[in-house]
């Protein structure tokens, strides 16, 4: 049992250029996982294209880690197959899968210096000395840790340890990099920097396929080419990041990925308006929004992001709703307003406020562009 791109001899011919050119795809083919009678992953079918960053995002306990660990080989699927590139890895032990993995608590080897941590995988795979030296240098340079090769993990900060963990995973030139909440243990400032650095890392290694598990929507939105939203052991939605954000296919996706105002509306007669926009009625107001295949009379939700609501109208912002001002929270860069529109709380994130804001409790119009909205079906919960 051997994986072609992972045996000792092959490690040495797979150079960086080759990796850049061709990564491997990861394919979940109806993979399910159960602990006893408790099904934590319902048959999951999902493909991660070569060189793609797929962010798997969802609330705690939704099965993200389980899916990732099934790829790594630590969780045995109850059914289904997992393929990496052309290899069916379902029955392979973790050490024959040719992967890299980085987890939340770094899991560095505490009794080894940074350089030995990074060299560990290559030594395990029997690479020769010269190659190991070169790769260790390269990998540490990639994560900006060249000056720390002689340190022990305990002599590094959390962010530095995580860089070393990434270098350790990259040194073996993995076919796929698995990241499970890699930044969750870091504080906010460092986390933001690390997100940008991982993005840069992927620009440098565009062939590297990455499965990025997180519960943080900002990380997912910043990094991912595609996002899979998990809910109760199922993929609730899956698609290109911007697409999923702009046109969420269901309420759960709309609310999990960024903030969303979801107004209950009824699809109006007259079907598609100009530019293929659907018309929907909210009380007396008739609004236009990007529809799917709604029929007149359907009850659905109109999704509008807080930053797309404007306090002033113009020829672009043709949709108009009126709400009652409830709360105003000033946060420096942004001011958050909460209004009540027909019983639905509506949030507005405004960068600029008019000179005078109406009193709390008084009526206030809000304007938005039809192109910024979409109609989202209410979730049908099973």
Angle CA 82–79–220, to nearest 5: 50
Instruction: Give the shortest CB-11-to-another protein separation in angstroms.
Output: 9
User: Order of strands, edge to edge, in the sheet holding 53-57?
Assistant: 99-103, 176-180, 209-214, 53-57, 226-231, 234-240
Question: Rounded to whole angstroms, what are the CA distances from 283 to 96, 135, 173?
Answer: 61, 64, 58
Does 168 sit near another protein (CB under 8 A)?
yes
Instruction: Give the shortest CB-186-to-another protein separation in angstroms.
Output: 16
Q: Which is nearer to another protein, 83 or 192 (CB)?
A: 83
Binding region for another protein (CB under 8 A) out of 143-151, 162-170, 338-346, 372-380: 162-170
Residue 225, contacted partner among Mg ion, ligand ADP, another protein, none, CB below 5-8 A by kind: none
Instruction: Give the shortest CB-64-to-ligand ADP separation in angstroms.
Output: 4
Token pair belonging to 128:
């020769």
Instruction: Give the shortest CB-64-to-Mg ion separation in angstroms.
Output: 5
Does 370 sit near another protein (CB under 8 A)?
no
Does 347 sit near another protein (CB under 8 A)?
no
Residue 61, contacted partner among another protein, ligand ADP, Mg ion, none, CB below 5-8 A by kind: ligand ADP
Q: Which is nearer to ligand ADP, 35 or 95 (CB)?
A: 35
- How far apart CA 370 and CA 309 sit, in angstroms, is 11
- How far apart CA 281 and CA 371 sit, in angstroms, is 16
Among 74, 79, 128, 345, binds another protein (CB under 8 A): 74
Instruction: Give the shortest CB-376-to-ligand ADP separation in angstroms.
Output: 23
Instruction: Give the shortest CB-215-to-Mg ion separation in angstroms.
Output: 8
Among 99, 114, 302, 311, binds another protein (CB under 8 A): 99
| 47 Cβ contact list (under 8 Å, min separation 6) | 25, 26, 27, 28
Can you give the binding site for Mg ion, defined by CB under 5 A? 65
- How far apart CA 214 and CA 181 sit, in angstroms, is 5
- How far apart CA 235 and CA 54 sit, in angstroms, is 13
Q: Which is nearer to another protein, 2 or 312 (CB)?
A: 2
* DSSP helix/strand/coil, 115: helix
Q: What is the DSSP string of 122-155?
A: HHHTT--HHHHHHHHHHHHHHTT-GGGTTS-GGG
Binding region for another protein (CB under 8 A) out of 38-46, 120-128, 228-236, 362-370: 120-128
Does 108 sit near another protein (CB under 8 A)?
yes
- How far apart CA 176 and CA 99 sit, in angstroms, is 5
Angle CA 164–165–170, to nearest 5: 95
Tokens 């979940």 belong to 28
Q: Which is nearer to ligand ADP, 2 or 218 (CB)?
A: 218
Can you give the binding site for ligand ADP, defined by CB under 6 A? 35, 40, 58, 60-66
Which spans of this chain sit near another protein (rule: CB under 8 A)? 6, 72-74, 93-101, 103, 105, 107-111, 120-121, 124-125, 165, 168-169, 172, 178
């Amino acid at each position: 049992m051997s994986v072609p791109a992972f045996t000792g001899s092959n490690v040495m011919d797979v150079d960086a250029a080759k990796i850049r050119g061709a990564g491997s795809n990861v394919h979940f083919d109806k993979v399910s996982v159960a602990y006893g009678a408790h099904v934590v992953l319902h048959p999951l079918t999902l493909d991660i294209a070569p060189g793609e960053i797929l962010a798997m995002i969802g609330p705690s306990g939704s099965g993200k880690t389980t899916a990732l660990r099934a790829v790594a080989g630590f969780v045995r699927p109850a059914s289904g197959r997992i393929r990496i590139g052309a290899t069916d890895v379902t029955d392979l032990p973790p050490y024959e899968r040719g992967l890299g993995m980085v987890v939340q608590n770094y899991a560095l080897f505490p009794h080894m210096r940074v350089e030995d941590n990074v060299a560990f995988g290559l030594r395990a795979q029997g690479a020769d000395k010269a190659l190991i030296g070169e790769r260790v240098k390269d990998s540490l340079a990639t994560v900006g840790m060249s000056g720390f090769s002689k340190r022990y993990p305990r002599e590094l900060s959390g962010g530095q340890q995580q860089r070393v963990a990434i270098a350790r995973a990259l040194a073996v030139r993995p076919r796929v990099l698995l990241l499970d909440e890699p930044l969750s243990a870091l504080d906010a400032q460092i986390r933001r920097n690390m997100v940008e650095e991982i993005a840069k890392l992927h620009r440098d290694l565009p062939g590297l396929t990455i499965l990025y598990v997180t519960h943080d929507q900002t990380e997912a939105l910043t990094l991912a080419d595609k996002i899979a939203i998990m809910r109760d052991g199922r993929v609730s939605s899956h698609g290109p990041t911007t697409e999923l954000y702009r046109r969420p296919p269901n309420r759960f996706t709309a609310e999990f990925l960024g903030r969303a105002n979801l107004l209950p509306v009824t699809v109006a007669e007259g079907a598609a308006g100009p530019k293929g926009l659907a018309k929907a009625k909210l009380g007396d107001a008739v609004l236009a929004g990007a529809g799917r295949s709604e029929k007149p009379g359907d009850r659905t939700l109109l999704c509008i992001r807080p930053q797309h609501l404007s306090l002033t109208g113009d020829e672009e912002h043709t949709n108009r709703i009126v709400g009652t001002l409830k709360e105003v929270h000033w946060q420096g860069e942004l001011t958050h307003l909460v209004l009540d529109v027909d019983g639905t709380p509506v949030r507005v994130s405004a960068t600029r406020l008019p000179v005078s804001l109406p009193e709390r409790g008084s009526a206030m119009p809000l304007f938005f562009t039809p192109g910024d909205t979409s109609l989202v079906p209410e979730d049908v919960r099973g």
